[in-house]
Amino acid sequence: MRFILFCLLTFAALPAPAEWYSREEAIMGTAVRVELWHDDATAARAAMSAVMDEMHRIDASMSPYKPDSELSRINREAAHKPVPISQEMFDLITRSIDFSKLSGGAFDITFSSVGYLYDYREHVKPTDAQIAKALPGINYRHLQLDPKAHTIHYARPGVRIDLGGIAKGYAVDNCIAILKGRGITNAIVTAGGDSRLLGDRRGRPWNVGVRDPRRRGDVAAVLPLADVAISTSGDYERFFEEDGVRYHHIINPKTGKSATGVRSVTIIGPDGITTEGLTKSVFVKGPKEGMRLIESLKGIDAIIIDDAGNMLYSPSLRQVVRHGAAADTHRDDVSR
């Protein structure tokens, strides 16, 4: 009896085998998921909770739909006076302006000056007259940042900003930093179309599927990746169709209307802010100008699916992308 009891106690004291842990929640208007490798279930659950807490924190600050968020306060007050803002918000708006300059204005967080007039769930779009009236509000140069006072002021009435084109990339970056700080070396954090990969999948790459923009559930290509960020923006995320026209959430700042010529853009790069910001930039610029921008940047790759369904790759991807029938056999990790 003593021997049996000793064996049972010894077995109970052995550490649990390392394994993959995952958790998913709806945050920031999208599906947020974390998957990580750990040898301690309690520590793994604590790490995943920290990720979700950070996502909720960013959503509470940067949501344009929550009236008590910092972003909503800015939109209410900044046209009337300089508004003090957090260092975090100041830095993220500064990065947004950098993308506006890099893209020649194709990326512009003031798109919301017109964009707020659309309601994709209710199939509501602004009239041409409403767009013409609101369009002058779209111009990143209207955003006046004071680095000493840490304030923002809108140069004219009617300006609104929306960080939807960069905030999720920022969020996945923050969450990966949290996991690194807890000693985790293999993980993925995904928020909608934005993912950041920490390490590989225990000796093999993460197989990240790029969604077919017109066939839900199908994968157009699969990318074997490790230790990078990847973002996809598509005209299928928030949209409605009317009279043969697809109205979607990626607004061309020059027209105040949905960008045309592209169905989806996928960017691979070093961090989520960069990849998410570039997906919107490339989408608005279109296939030729967008790919020219990508090829001018070091360490950045892209897949563009144009409005005819053609798939365009940056040069270094052409030898590694699996597509067509091959893609269907490698959908075990992440689909976007």
List, as own/partner pairs, every contact residues 200-204 make where C-beta atoms lie below 8 angstroms and the sequence separation is at least 24, other chains included. Answer: 200/226, 200/227, 201/226, 201/333, 202/37
Residue 2: the pLDDT is: 42
Residue 273: the pLDDT is: 98
The CA R_g of the chain, rounded to the nearest whole Å, is 22
Residue 279: the pLDDT is: 98
Distance, CA of 44 to CA of 69 (rounded, Å): 30
Residues 6+ apart with CB under 8 A from 72: 63, 64, 65, 66
Distance, CA of 162 to CA of 64 (rounded, Å): 6
What's the pLDDT tens digit per position in 249-276?
Answer: 999 999 999 999 999 999 999 999 999 9
Asked if residue 132 is part of any domain, the answer here is yes
Asked if residue 64 is part of any domain, the answer here is no
- Residue 77 domain boundaries: 70-154
Asked if residue 100 is part of any domain, the answer here is yes
Asked if residue 172 is part of any domain, the answer here is no
Distance, CA of 47 to CA of 187 (rounded, Å): 11
Asked if residue 63 is part of any domain, the answer here is no
Amino acid occupying residue 336 = R
Angle at 105 between CA 172 and CA 152, to 5 degrees: 70
Burial class (CB within 10 angstroms; exposed 0-12, middle 13-18, buried 19+) of 185: middle
Give the pLDDT of the chain (336 residues) as one tens digit per residue. Answer: 443 443 444 444 445 578 999 999 999 999 999 999 999 999 999 999 999 999 999 999 999 999 999 999 999 999 999 999 999 999 999 999 999 999 999 999 999 999 999 999 999 999 999 999 999 999 999 999 999 999 999 999 999 999 999 999 999 999 999 999 999 999 999 999 999 999 999 999 999 999 999 998 899 999 999 999 999 999 999 999 999 999 999 999 999 999 999 999 999 999 999 999 999 999 999 999 999 999 999 999 999 999 999 999 998 887 677 664 444 434 445 655
Residue 334: the pLDDT is: 60
What's the pLDDT tens digit per position in 13-46?
Answer: 445 578 999 999 999 999 999 999 999 999 999 9
Asked if residue 5 is part of any domain, the answer here is no
Residue 327: the pLDDT is: 47
* Dihedral over alpha carbons 81, 87, 93, 98 (to 10 degrees): 130
Split into its structural domains, the chain has a count of: 1
User: What CATH number has the domain bearing residue 87?
Assistant: 1.10.3980.10
Residues 6+ apart with CB under 8 A from 203: none
Asked if residue 131 is part of any domain, the answer here is yes
Asked if residue 295 is part of any domain, the answer here is no
* pTM of the predicted model as reported, rounded to 2 decimal places: 0.90
